[in-house]
């Protein structure tokens, strides 16, 4: 189960999107499963044509913002999209309610034993995910703390996995791979690519790093796999390579320039300094990385680790508009 935290400016606009048909008519039966009050009482009434009247709900969520002490927020809407893994069973509304309440409690935005937390609701419009919408103003006029909210959401999702018997995902240890942005995924679909370039490059770099025993062998393997490589050199010592970037021949800008990805943009543990440390360990200097093992065994040890780091579940916190998505 993965939770992604976003920030936005207008709760009403976000609700209209969540209750609407979606970008590809993928939203089905939008309804509340949880909230700061009884979801049945908060559920928007339906107009004669069947569309929901969201004005009351949007107004209730926005009310605490008017009483907020001090200057307001630029982005007062907290939006958390929570998705189960494809192979997980379909959770009931009651189970999703527990998931949402657990996230709000763990983040401290709406603690279970405190009626003065923020106002929030959880919308379900698909079998496998919900959207939590909250306004960042406590009902006593104070500001909630959102520090490290992404990592607290991750912890709450892991707790839900254990409670509901779902697939276990990686902790938010800041070493997980960077997921492709929506624009990258949509571009791949438009051009008929099997996957986003970032995914392809991460796999190729992971494979090259796992099989290589030296830095030179690593770059040679990338070239042999058809990956373009650009070295970053030190400004103080021009002959020293301090980093690298990779690209694909077919992934270019409008003017034909290659779109490059630094190792750290693929996964935190695929930067050149991190890889160098692993290769040094494989040579016998780092017990945690296979010290003392013969060359092939050491490389196999690093191979297992490299694929685990680079292809780990999850993503770091990314902030963008909460309206839509």
Is 279 inside any structural domain? yes
Residues in Cβ contact with 45 at an 8 Å cutoff, skipping those fewer than 6 apart: 52, 53, 56
**Same domain (yes/no): 193, 144:** no
DSSP string, 33-58: EEESS-HHHHSPPBPTTS-B--HHHH
* 87-111 per-position pLDDT tens digit: 899 999 999 999 999 999 999 999 9
Tokens 């006593």 belong to residue: 140
**Same domain (yes/no): 271, 236:** yes
N-to-C CA span, the chain? 17
Q: What confidence score (pLDDT) does residue 281 get?
A: 66
d(CA 33, CA 95): 9
d(CA 79, CA 7): 6
Question: Of 113, 129, 164, which marks where a domain is finished?
Answer: 164
* 229-259 per-position pLDDT tens digit: 999 998 888 789 999 999 999 999 988 999 9
Domain that holds residue 294: 182-310
**Same domain (yes/no): 127, 44:** yes
* 135-147 per-position pLDDT tens digit: 999 988 899 998 8
In CATH, what number is assigned to the domain containing residue 59? 3.30.930
Give me the number of domains the chain comprises. Answer: 2
* 173-182 per-position pLDDT tens digit: 555 566 777 7
Is 194 inside any structural domain? yes
Q: Mean pLDDT across the chain, nearest whole number?
A: 84
Is 15 inside any structural domain? yes
Report, as an integer, the average pLDDT of 212-234: 93
Report, as an integer, the average pLDDT of 136-163: 91
Using alpha carbons, select from 74, 131, 311 the residue that is nearest to residue 209: 311
Residue 170 has pLDDT above 50, yes or no: yes
Question: Of 132, 164, 196, which marks where a domain is finished?
Answer: 164
**Same domain (yes/no): 141, 205:** no
Residue 183 has pLDDT above 70, yes or no: yes
Is 175 inside any structural domain? no
The region of weakest confidence among 81-95, 218-232, 309-323 is 309-323
**Same domain (yes/no): 52, 96:** yes
pLDDT-derived band at 290, boundaries 50, 70, 90: very low
């Amino acid at each position: 189960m993965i939770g992604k935290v976003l920030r936005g400016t207008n709760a009403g606009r976000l609700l209209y999107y969540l209750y609407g048909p979606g970008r590809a008519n993928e939203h089905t039966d939008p309804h509340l499963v949880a909230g700061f009050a009884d979801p049945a009482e908060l559920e928007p009434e339906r107009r004669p044509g069947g569309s929901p009247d969201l004005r009351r709900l949007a107004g209730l969520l926005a009310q605490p913002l008017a009483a907020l002490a001090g200057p307001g927020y630029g982005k007062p809407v907290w939006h958390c999209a929570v998705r189960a893994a494809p192979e997980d069973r379909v959770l009931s509304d009651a189970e999703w309610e527990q998931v949402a309440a657990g996230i709000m409690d763990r983040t401290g935005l709406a603690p279970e034993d405190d009626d003065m937390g923020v106002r929030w609701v959880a919308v379900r419009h698909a079998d496998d995910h919900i959207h939590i919408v909250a306004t960042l103003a406590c009902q006593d006029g104070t500001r909630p703390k959102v520090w490290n909210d992404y990592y607290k959401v991750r912890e709450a999702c892991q707790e839900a996995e254990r409670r509901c018997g779902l697939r276990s995902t990686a902790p938010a240890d800041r070493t997980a791979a960077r997921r492709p942005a929506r624009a990258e995924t949509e571009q791949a679909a438009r051009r008929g690519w099997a996957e986003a370039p970032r995914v392809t490059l991460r796999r190729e770099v992971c494979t090259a790093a796992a099989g290589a025993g030296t830095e030179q062998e690593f770059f040679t393997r990338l070239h042999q796999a058809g990956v373009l490589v650009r070295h970053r050199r030190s400004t103080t010592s021009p002959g020293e390579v301090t980093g690298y970037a990779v690209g694909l021949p077919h992934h270019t800008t409008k003017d034909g320039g290659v779109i490059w990805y630094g190792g750290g943009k693929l996964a935190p543990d695929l930067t050149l300094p991190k890889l160098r440390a692993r290769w040094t360990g494989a040579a016998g200097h780092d017990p945690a990385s296979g010290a003392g093992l013969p060359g092939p065994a050491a490389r196999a040890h690093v191979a297992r680790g490299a694929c685990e780091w680079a292809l780990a579940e999850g993503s770091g916190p990314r902030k963008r508009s909460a309206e839509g998505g």
